[in-house]
Homo-oligomer: A and B are copies of this chain.
């Protein structure tokens, strides 16, 4: 589908009007046109910057419009996938310009009853113009020293309310359980009762002490998020100065420009939480697919990307998670490092066999459990061991029930959490 130096976008369009007219309108509105013909719009200018409709593939029509229309029942809403080529010359390497031209403006066009951005093929140069992941899969493995299985991680719970010394007590127990990765909840930024500085002071000595004794350095992702970039960089520097090596970023809440500014100076593995993303993808006829969204963020430098998991606690169906996993493992042209998928939400180990089977039997991910670890009947450390056991069984091709006969923590997890999902 990629054409020379063009940026080729694919849109799922829906209308009770003319599909062809709307496809042409995207190309015109998003390059040279406005609502009336213009004197300066010469053929030479158009040849240089005008977008072109390459192909339209009509799909089955719909009887219910994606945007409510208040039209009589029986109205037919035609649907198609449309490929449109935007000349590189019209955009340049600026992802903000790209977002405005090929995404932002399109959502405003009148006449659509549905519009979703479902594909984006960038010229190779884009990948070289952006930093990409600094750590990604290889760096995350190198920093944790875990090479032959998924990284196993957990989240401090409750999400909000713990003071730094209370957090540290939980961290101490988790570290001793052999966990590879711990993160602050995405909702715990730097509220008055628990600043990043105080959390770092309470937690990093425990991480370093454990490293001294065992050689194992647990990766702790501090939530350094802040709308004020200066404040976020100060948080970053506090973590780095105390020997921390990771940070949680709510990528949609700070936005792409602030994320790139952070990435350019970052010494930390950047763990992306995509809260807010759901509203852009949950309606299948509207918004944007993850395959497009993730391209922006991996160019900008996300190292670890949360994408939910099998039987997550959120709305997202398993198939959607599986597709996201494959999107992240597909290589972008000229890419130096790949981001590490983070399998998460409602995970406790019971989903290990299906996760493994449906993600191409790869072990290259971070398997992240919050409540599924913290509320294990034997406590958080037993929760971590149960997850480790689930992945050990999965790698060896042994059923979880079978493995649980000789592994108490897994048995207890199956008894407690297995029952929840039934």
Contact = CB atoms under 8 A, between A and B. Distances in A.
A255 B228 CA distance: 12
A203 to B, nearest CB: 16
B346 A158 contact: no
B35 A275 contact: no
A161 interface: yes
Interface stretch (A26-34, A207-215, A349-357, A360-368): A26-34
Contact of A276 (B36, B49, B104, B250): B104
B278 A36 contact: no
Given A104-B250, A161-B49, A252-B104, A371 B36 contact: yes
A190 B273 CA distance: 30
Given A92-B191, A258-B258, A159 B68 contact: no
Contacts of A279: 107, 115, 280, 286-288
A33 B159 contact: yes
A261 interface: yes
A67 interface: yes
Contacts of A111: 315
Copies in the complex: 2
Contacts of A158: 32-34, 38, 40-41, 45
Interface in A220-268: 225-232, 250, 252-261, 264
Given A68-B64, A108-B314, A225 B191 contact: no
A137 interface: no
Contacts of A190: 92, 94, 97
A104 B253 contact: yes
Contacts of A379: 39
A417 B37 CA distance: 12
A128 interface: no
A115 B95 CA distance: 29
Contact of A90 (B160, B186, B315, B370): B160
A418 interface: no
Contacts of A48: 161, 193
A100 B225 CA distance: 10
Interface in A156-188: 157-162, 166, 170, 186-187
Which 10 residue pairs are nearest across A and B when measured between Cβ atoms?
Answer: A255-B255, A257-B258, A104-B275, A104-B276, A34-B371, A97-B189, A45-B161, A254-B257, A96-B227, A107-B278
Interface of A: 30-41, 45-46, 48-50, 64, 66-68, 89-92, 94-97, 99-101, 103-105, 107-112, 115, 157-162, 166, 170, 186-187, 189-193, 225-232, 250, 252-261, 264, 273, 275-280, 282-288, 300, 313-316, 346, 370-372, 374-375, 379, 417, 420
9 contacts: A36-B375, A89-B192, A97-B225, A100-B186, A108-B275, A227-B260, A232-B257, A255-B257, A286-B286
